[in-house]
Each structure stands twice: as structure tokens, then as C-alpha cells.
Amino acid sequence: MDISTQSTQSPLPTPQPPPTEQRRAARGATRPGDRIFLGLSRGSGILLLVIMAAIAVFLTYRAVLAISEDEGNFLTTFEWNTNTVPPVFGIAVLAFGTIVSSIIAMVIAVPIAVAIALFLTHYAPRRLRGPIAYVIDLLAAVPSIVYGLWGAMVLVPHLTGLFGWLDAYLGWTGIFSWEGGAPRSMFTVGILLAIMILPIITNVSREVFRQVPQMHEEAALALGATRWEVIRMAVIPFGRSGVISASMLGLGRALGETMAVATVLSPDFIIHGSLLNPGGGTFAQNIASKFSEATEFGRDALIASGLVLFVITLLVNGAARAIIARRKEYSGANA
């Protein structure tokens, strides 16, 4: 509004628009090929928006149907009973499980991924860099159900020892106490997710670290910096926003991971203070396990939980962008 009033009050004469033919020529849309391409690309863009809007409207509509029937509080109820009359269900356990397992995955994966990326770009001998990077790429190509099967058959049996150790030495903190159930807990899920998101964080970080301009590293070297000090002064600060973006890509995958979580977790609508006791659940895992046997109403309820996951993902991405924007004037992009 402000802008339009300002422009009408502007004392400057508005420039005459050029004749129509000239404008058309300038846009380059007179030739048949250009017109067809313009129509196609504009049509595709509009179609995409229409599909997105249709999906959003459909999901929101179904979600509202379910939530309006919910006898419990949708956000705080620790149950998921959609077949009872009246239905009682809530996402508290799912939200907790999704966020906690993703945080565990990030805490484990990000430092390791950054360390691998730095090793590959600054320490590894040249002829080892290619093969190691290739193996990491292969890890990214493994389907998630394969990770899930490996997790259930190999990882879970081997975690008993680790869980016992954590309980013995860190059990006093509460979050690492263990009552001796099967090691199919949020912590197990976190470890598996960490392995799954490691490749993407490593690969993106490696690209970012590789793009640090030679002149910044030489500036540090010329001041008498050791290799580690060069990394601390020039490489990591330059790559920080890239590593944050990489972590967000990984986090996105961890938040939405379905099959692998469903395979290793013993789901239960309960929130433990300890990360090691079995039980809990995540949005995606809950939808996958319940969807095929759910009633029409049950599906609506699951869709509602899916919408919450979507909102959480949006919030996380927004937070990441804010972090990157806050440091913008110090970013390496100004170099």
C-alpha cells in the first residue's frame, strides 16, 4: 500500500512504456519456439502449485475431521486409540520420539561427518581420497530397509554390551539408566539414524571444505599456523554455514525416516526418562506401522500426525536459515 501511494505521488514523470512490438521483441516471445517453451514452462510451474495446494487442502481437511472427534488433547495425550468410542489419541509420544531420536543422531553423526570431511580434504593422502569418498557415497545408496534389517539383526544384539556399560557408568544421570529390556529403544534408533545420515553430511561438508579459497589457507599458514590451526582459523569458519546446511539435510532425513525405525524399535505409547529403555515411537514409524490396518477415521488421525511432522520439519529448516542469515556478513561468500 505504502509503495503504491508513494509512486503515484512521485514528482518524476513516469517513463512512457515502449510500443508493444518492441516490448514483445525484448522478451523474445515472438518466435513460435519461444512461445511454446514459455507456455510449457509456465504451465508446469502453475500445475506444480495447483498440485501442492490440492494436497495441502486435502490433508488439512482430513486432519481437521480427525482432530475434531478426538476426545483427548491432540498435542498432549499419551495414547493412540482411534478405534474406541470416543477415540482418544495424541502426538506427544511421537513428537518426543521423533525429536529425541533425531537429536541423538545429530549429536553422533555431525562431529564424525565433519571429522571425516576434514580428513578427506586436508589430511588423507591424495590417492586414498577417491576410494574413501566412493565408499561413503555407497553408504548413501543403501536402501533404508536394508539399514533396518541390519539394525535389527546385527546392531541390536550387539548393543547389549554398550547399554550395560552406559548403565553402569552413566546410569546415575537418569537418561542412561537401563532396566535390561531388549535394546530396541530411542537410543538404538538414534545410533541407526546417525549411520544413515552420515554420508550426506560428510559429502556436503567435504564439498564445502574443498571450496575454501587457497588464499585464506595461505594467509593462515603465513602467520605461522599449524595444519590444525589453519583448519580452525580458515577452513571451519568458512564452511560453517555449509556444514549447518548439510546437517539440516541429514536432520530432514532423520526426522522422516520410516522403515529403519519401524524395524529396530519396539514401539509403545510411553515416554521414558531414560533413552535406553525400549518403547516410544516416531511420526513416520507410527504411520507406517498403523496405516495398513487403520480404519478410515484411523487414517485421518495418522494424516493429522503427518501434518505435525511437516510443521516440525518446516520449523527446523526455518531455524537453520535464521542461523545462517545471522552470520551472513561474516560468511565466506563475501570473500
DSSP state of 72: S
Measured from the CB of residue 332, what is the shortest distance to other proteins in angstroms?
5
What φ, ψ does residue 107 adopt, rounded to 5°?
Answer: -60, -40
Measured from the CB of residue 244, what is the shortest distance to other proteins in angstroms?
13
Measured from the CB of residue 126, what is the shortest distance to other proteins in angstroms?
8
Binding part of the chain for other proteins, among 72-80, 157-165, 197-205, 217-225 by CB under 8 A, reads: 217-225
**What grid cell was written down for 235?**
577452513
Q: Which is nearer to other proteins, 225 or 312 (CB)?
A: 225
**What grid cell was written down for 250?**
541429514
The residue within the footprint of other proteins, chosen from 59, 112, 219, 288 (CB under 8 A), is 219
Q: Which is nearer to other proteins, 42 or 327 (CB)?
A: 327
Question: In DSSP terms, which residues pair with 268 in a beta bridge?
Answer: 280
What mask, x for binding other proteins by CB under 8 A, covers residues 221 to 250?
xxxxxx--x---xx--xx-x----------
Within 10 angstroms of residue 122's Cβ, the number of other Cβ atoms is 16
Measured from the CB of residue 259, what is the shortest distance to other proteins in angstroms?
40
Binding part of the chain for other proteins, among 43-51, 60-68, 188-196, 218-226 by CB under 8 A, reads: 218-226
Q: Output the CA torsion 323→328→330→335 (10° steps).
A: 140
Contact 272, 184 (CB under 8 A): no
Per rule CB under 8 A, is residue 330 in the interface with other proteins?
A: yes
Q: Which is nearer to other proteins, 12 or 335 (CB)?
A: 335
Distance CA 281, CA 286 (A): 6
Distance CA 335, CA 322 (A): 21
Close Cβ partners of 138 (under 8 Å, ≥ 6 residues apart) = none
Binding part of the chain for other proteins, among 25-33, 141-149, 216-224, 252-260 by CB under 8 A, reads: 216-224
At 253, which helix (H) or strand (E)?
Answer: helix 236-256
Per rule CB under 8 A, is residue 334 in the interface with other proteins?
A: yes
Distance CA 247, CA 275 (A): 22
Residue type at 279 in one-letter notation: G
Site for other proteins in 140-159 (CB under 8 A): none
Per rule CB under 8 A, is residue 329 in the interface with other proteins?
A: yes
Measured from the CB of residue 321, what is the shortest distance to other proteins in angstroms?
18
Listed residue (241, 247, 207) closest to 334, CA to CA: 241
Distance CA 132, CA 124 (A): 9
Per rule CB under 8 A, is residue 303 in the interface with other proteins?
A: no
What mask, x for binding other proteins by CB under 8 A, covers residues 267 to 296?
------------------------------
Distance CA 238, CA 241 (A): 8
Measured from the CB of residue 333, what is the shortest distance to other proteins in angstroms?
8
The number of residues that bind other proteins (CB under 8 A) is 25
Residues that bind other proteins (CB under 8 A): 126, 213, 215-216, 218-226, 229, 233-234, 237-238, 240, 329-332, 334-335
